[in-house]
């Protein structure tokens, strides 16, 4: 019997967060966890969701600020520029409410999920949100063009 058959995908995800000392909250009625991440760039909500019937795990970092309606076009351009060439995950923008989030995900059908895979997904996720959050704020509130914000971030 494989590890995934012995332990559910959700149990593996929860075990990673517990072993890594993340303060998590289990979301009642769902196979999902909620947490927060803090860095020099800011603090934001995170959540992970298991879609057991599809053998998938998704992890999201949610930008702490909603995009003002007037800034949606510029932020949309910024996020498209950021997404171009990304190999792990992507930014998403909900044009109806201004929510921005970064998503990493994995489909393990025919294989198994491990805590090491969860770790890689989660850390890549929060590090990329951390890297691009200052540029996002500069576009939303600082009058910086999307191209200039991306150029500044990607030169480092």
Interval 64-97: pLDDT, tens:
999 999 999 999 999 999 999 899 999 999 999 9
Quote the pLDDT of residue 1. 35
pTM: 0.91
Structure tokens at 85: 């060439």
Closest CA to 8 of 112, 118, 106: 112
Q: Which two tokens stand for residue 129?
A: 């949100």
User: What's 3-154's CATH class?
Assistant: alpha beta
Q: Give residue limits of the domains in the chain.
A: 3-154
Cα–Cα dist 54/52, whole Å = 5
Q: What is the pLDDT of residue 155?
A: 86
Residue 142 pLDDT > 80: yes
Nearest to 57 by CA among 130, 3, 101, 109: 109
């Amino acid at each position: 019997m494989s590890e995934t058959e012995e332990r559910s995908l959700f149990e593996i995800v929860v075990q990673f967060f517990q072993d890594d000392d993340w303060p998590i909250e289990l979301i009642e009625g769902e196979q999902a966890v909620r947490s927060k991440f803090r860095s020099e760039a800011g603090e934001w909500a995170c959540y992970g969701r298991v879609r057991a019937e599809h053998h998938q795990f998704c992890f999201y970092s949610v930008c702490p600020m909603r995009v003002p309606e007037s800034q949606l076009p510029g932020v949309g351009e910024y996020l498209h520029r950021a997404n171009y060439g990304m190999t792990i995950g992507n930014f998403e923008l909900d044009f109806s409410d201004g929510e921005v989030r970064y998503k990493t995900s994995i489909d393990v059908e025919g294989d198994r999920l491990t805590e090491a895979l969860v770790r890689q997904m989660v850390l890549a996720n929060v590090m990329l949100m951390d890297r691009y959050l200052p540029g996002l704020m500069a576009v939303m509130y600082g009058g910086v063009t999307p191209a200039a914000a991306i150029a500044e971030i990607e030169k480092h």
